[in-house]
Each structure stands twice: as structure tokens, then as C-alpha cells.
């Protein structure tokens, strides 16, 4: 894993796009979520696994500081859970796309599509298990103290269960599709830039 100036710049640009999209989180998670997932995937494909993992770790922190979340404030263990879900997506894309793995004999685009699909499903499953089945039942009562109206807790928990499971699957799949469509011409551009 070689760290280059070019790789740092590319990662910085993708992180900037990710952070810019987070300013629209209050409009719709279906707008921000796919963009965040797209930047993670493109970072892995264009720069390398370390780049995707870096964005996977930074994105939940910047999202919290930009739009805030009473759930994340009440349950700090959700930060590593979200980071882990993002990392699962990054690792799956890298693993399936890398020609050095056991799937290296298949066609590159087919391996990438498989990695995107598997990564999206595993990300949603990871977050669903860790957040919905473990963290929310264990620490959900802590959220009431962070809410303006504590009696809204059941509704907030119900929304959180959907947000950190089904919504994650939908936004990961949408981000995967968007990343794939961007990657087709981007890959040709990057390969042409490497030609002497």
C-alpha cells in the first residue's frame, strides 16, 4: 500500500465531495447517502483500499458535526458501527475488484458488480445487526435525554431502525450504481493518463 501525493490529493477531493453532500443530509438521506457511498467506492477503485477506508472513518464524524444527530450523541458507540459498515463496503469492493484475489479469473466488470452488490448487502447487514439489534436495544433509553420531547423516543427508535438497516441497503445500492456509472469513463481516463 503505497501512499503518494497524487493519491492523497485524489482522496482529499473525494472527501471534499463527501463532506459537501453532507450539508444536504437534512433534505434527504437518499440524496446524501448515495453520494457518500459513491465517494467511498470511487476512492477504493481510483486510489486504493486505504483511501476508501480513510473516507469510511472520516465521513460519520463530519456528518455528525455538520448536521448533528441526537442518536449519535446519545450512543457514541454508533460512530465505530457506522465506520465499520462503510469499511465493509470498501473492503468488499476492493476484494472483488482486485485481480489478485480468488475471483481474479472472472471479467473485471462482473467482479466489480458482484463486489458492489455483496458490499451493499453486507454493509446493511452489519449495521442492522450492530446498531439495530445490539446498540439501540442496549442504549436506546439514553436517546430520550438528548431529545427536545422525550416522549418522542418510540418514534425516533422506529425511524432509527429503518435508517440503519433498510435505508442503508437502498443508499448503498444507489451509491454503487452511481459509482459504477462514473467508474466506466473514469477508468479509461485514468488508464490513458498512465500511458507514456
Over residues 159-192, the pLDDT tens digits come to: 888 988 999 999 999 999 999 999 999 888 877 7
> For 2-11, b where at least 16 C-beta lie within 10 A, e where not — what string?
eeeeebeebb
Q: Report the percent of the chain where pLDDT is more than 70.
A: 92
Provide the pLDDT for residue 107: 66
Question: Which residues, in sequence order, are CB contacts of 76 under 8 Å at separation 6+?
Answer: none
- Of 133, 47, 31, nearest in space to 90 by CA: 47
Q: Which domains does the chain have, with CATH numbers?
A: 5-194 (1.10.1760.20)
Flag whether pLDDT at 194 surpasses 70.
Answer: no
Residues 32 and 26: their CA atoms lie apart, in Å, by: 9
Over residues 16-36, the pLDDT tens digits come to: 999 999 988 778 889 999 999
Environment class of 149 (CB within 10 Å of its CB; exposed 0-12, middle 13-18, buried 19+): exposed
DSSP readout, 57-72? HHHHHHHHHHH--HHH
Confidence of residue 153 (pLDDT cuts 50, 70, 90): confident
Over residues 59-78, the pLDDT tens digits come to: 999 999 998 877 888 889 99
Total-model pTM:
0.90
Flag whether pLDDT at 14 surpasses 90.
Answer: yes
Which segments of 23-76 does DSSP mark as H helices, in order?
Answer: 29-46, 49-67, 70-74
Amino acid at each position: 500500500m503505497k501512499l503518494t501525493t497524487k493519491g492523497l490529493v485524489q482522496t482529499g477531493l473525494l472527501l471534499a465531495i463527501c463532506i459537501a453532500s453532507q450539508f444536504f443530509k437534512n433534505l434527504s438521506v437518499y440524496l446524501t447517502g448515495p453520494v457518500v457511498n459513491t465517494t467511498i467506492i470511487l476512492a477504493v477503485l481510483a486510489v486504493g483500499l486505504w483511501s476508501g477506508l480513510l473516507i469510511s472513518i472520516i465521513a460519520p464524524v463530519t456528518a455528525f458535526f455538520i448536521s448533528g444527530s441526537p442518536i449519535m450523541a446519545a450512543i457514541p458507540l454508533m460512530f465505530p458501527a457506522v465506520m465499520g459498515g462503510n469499511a465493509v463496503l470498501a473492503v468488499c469492493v476492493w476484494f472483488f475488484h482486485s485481480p489478485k484475489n480468488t475471483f481474479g479469473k472472472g471479467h473485471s466488470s462482473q467482479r466489480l458488480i458482484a463486489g458492489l452488490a455483496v458490499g451493499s448487502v453486507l454493509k446493511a447487514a452489519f449495521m442492522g445487526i450492530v446498531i439495530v439489534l445490539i446498540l439501540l436495544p442496549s442504549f436506546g433509553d439514553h436517546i430520550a435525554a438528548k431529545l427536545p420531547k422525550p416522549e418522542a423516543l418510540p418514534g425516533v427508535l422506529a425511524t432509527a431502525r429503518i435508517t440503519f438497516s433498510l435505508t442503508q441497503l437502498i443508499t448503498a445500492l444507489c451509491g454503487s450504481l452511481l459509482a459504477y456509472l462514473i467508474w466506466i469513463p473514469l477508468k479509461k481516463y485514468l488508464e490513458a493518463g498512465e500511458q507514456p
